[in-house]
Amino acid sequence: MPDDFQGPQVHFMYIVPADGTDNQLDTNATVEQSITRVQNWMLGQTGNQGLRIDTFHGAPDITFFRLPVTDSQVTSAYPWPLWTIGDDLVARGFSNPNKVYAVFYDGHSTWACGGATSPALPKLGAMYLQGWPTHDPLPCHAWGTGTKQPGYFDFGILHEVLHAIGYSTPCSPHKSRDGFGDHVNDSPTDIMYAPDATHTAPWDLSHTVLDYNHDDYYKAHIPGCPDLSDSPYLTPMVSVDVTAGSGSGTVVSDPAGISCPQTCTAFLTPPVTLTATPGAGQRFTGWGGSCSGSGTCTLNNTGSASANFDAVTYARSLSLRVHGQHQLLGSLQAQGGGSICVAGVTVVVERRLTHGWKTLRRLATGPSGRFAVSIPAGRASYRALAPAATTAEGSQCGPAASPIVSSR
């Protein structure tokens, strides 16, 4: 699908081997929920940055395809499934130098839970969803829960994506001596941690952080050493959550991503402008939460907004006082049908047409009589006129008197 924007971005994929079961993780929200957990975690760690995700109309653009080889052929061709996947990506044209391909491979590995090129073309990070390496004491088969609690797969794909864009770097002070050169060893809680000969604790996913003490790769600002906070694969980001208050209507965002009530939560680059549009027979009464007022709302920080709507109500009566020759008694904008009621006065009710006013009905009543004229459904303008030398009061025929009368 066409990209919402150009430049560096992370494109997610769900790939199965030729003999594998398509568990539809790309369409049943599994991958999208994983992205949400990763982005929420990144926001919690950075305050205002997240991965720059490849999107289409504001939603993550997730690619699915089936490899031309079986799962056993994938694991036997190379030590790492990543290499077979990378070859197939290139053959299919997925080699955009600006993109990191984040792959959930629904197959096995006998060597690792995941892997990444660091960085090569295509820039590729992958998790092997059925991989159970015996040397790893952690189970690499767990998704997170909800939208804010990442699991092994969620942390794992982020770990591999960061590898694919070049982190951690060889110039990190706490570089792990694990033979790869792109991990750190100062804390098992670091998202980029790997044990080595002198640091044997397993990866700790219960208190995971982005760059423990910020002294290796994120906001470490080591002279001559790349810093993840400056990476084009990260972007300023806010989390926007829109909830429907009373009534019915829609809320859309600029940039695209929110189209509530269908899509009410999104990660967007600020500033984010929200626009509320009432549904038929509704009016927008104002914002709640992080927004206020009744115009558009602009968010520069993470926030939640509620859009409130209410049914449009119209008075059912017109209170009139008549003086003089064909005086204008009152006018109204009718919508959806309704009625005008008067008493004790002769009144002509007219409707505006394209070529002028047309008499709709003449109401002739006595001092205590009451007549009503029905207003057909649809939007139109009406006016009430009285003859000369008449002084009388119009009467109510509904719960409230108002100079504007319409609808039910």
Q: Do 249 and 379 belong to one domain?
A: no
Q: 215 in a domain, yes or no?
A: no
Q: Are residues 18 and 99 in the same domain?
A: yes
Same domain? For 282 and 319 the reply is no
CATH code of the domain in which 118 resides? 3.40.390
In a domain, 211, yes or no: no
Q: What is the pLDDT of residues 339-358, one digit of tens each?
A: 444 444 455 666 666 666 66
Which among 257, 288, 311 is the end of a domain?
Answer: 311
Beta carbons within 10 angstroms of residue 137's beta carbon: 8
State the Rg of the chain over Cα.
Answer: 33
Tell me how far apart the alpha carbons of residues 386 and 392 are, in angstroms, rounded to a whole number.
10
What is the predicted pLDDT for the residue at 174? 94
- Residue 212's pLDDT is what? 97
Give residue-wise pLDDT tens across range 11-37.
999 999 999 999 999 999 999 999 999
Report the C-alpha gap between 50 and 148 in whole angstroms: 14
Residue 374 above 80 pLDDT? no
Q: What is the per-residue pLDDT for 51?
A: 97
Phi and psi, residue 24, nearest 5°: 60, 35
Query: Do 16 and 148 have their domain in common?
Result: yes
Confirm whether 173 is domain-assigned: no
Query: For the chain, how many structural domains are there in total?
Result: 3
Which runs of E-coded beta strand occur in 106-263?
A: 114-116, 123-128, 234-236, 238-244, 249-254, 259-260
User: Residue 200 domain-assigned?
Assistant: no
**Alpha-carbon distance 92 to 13, whole Å?**
13
What is the separation of C-alpha 19 from the centre of its chain, rounded to a whole number of angstroms? 35
Per-residue pLDDT tens over the stretch 306-332: 999 987 654 333 434 333 334 444 444
Range 278-303 average pLDDT: 91
If we measure between CA atoms, which residue out of 335, 326, 334, 289 comes closest to residue 308? 289
Q: What is the mean pLDDT of residues 172-188?
A: 87
Domain residues for the domain of 14 are 9-166
What mean pLDDT comes out for the span 276-286? Answer: 88
Higher per-residue confidence, 77 vs 354: 77
- Of 311, 327, 343, which residue is a domain's last? 311
pLDDT at residue 17 in the model: 97
* 264 and 348 belong to one structural domain: no
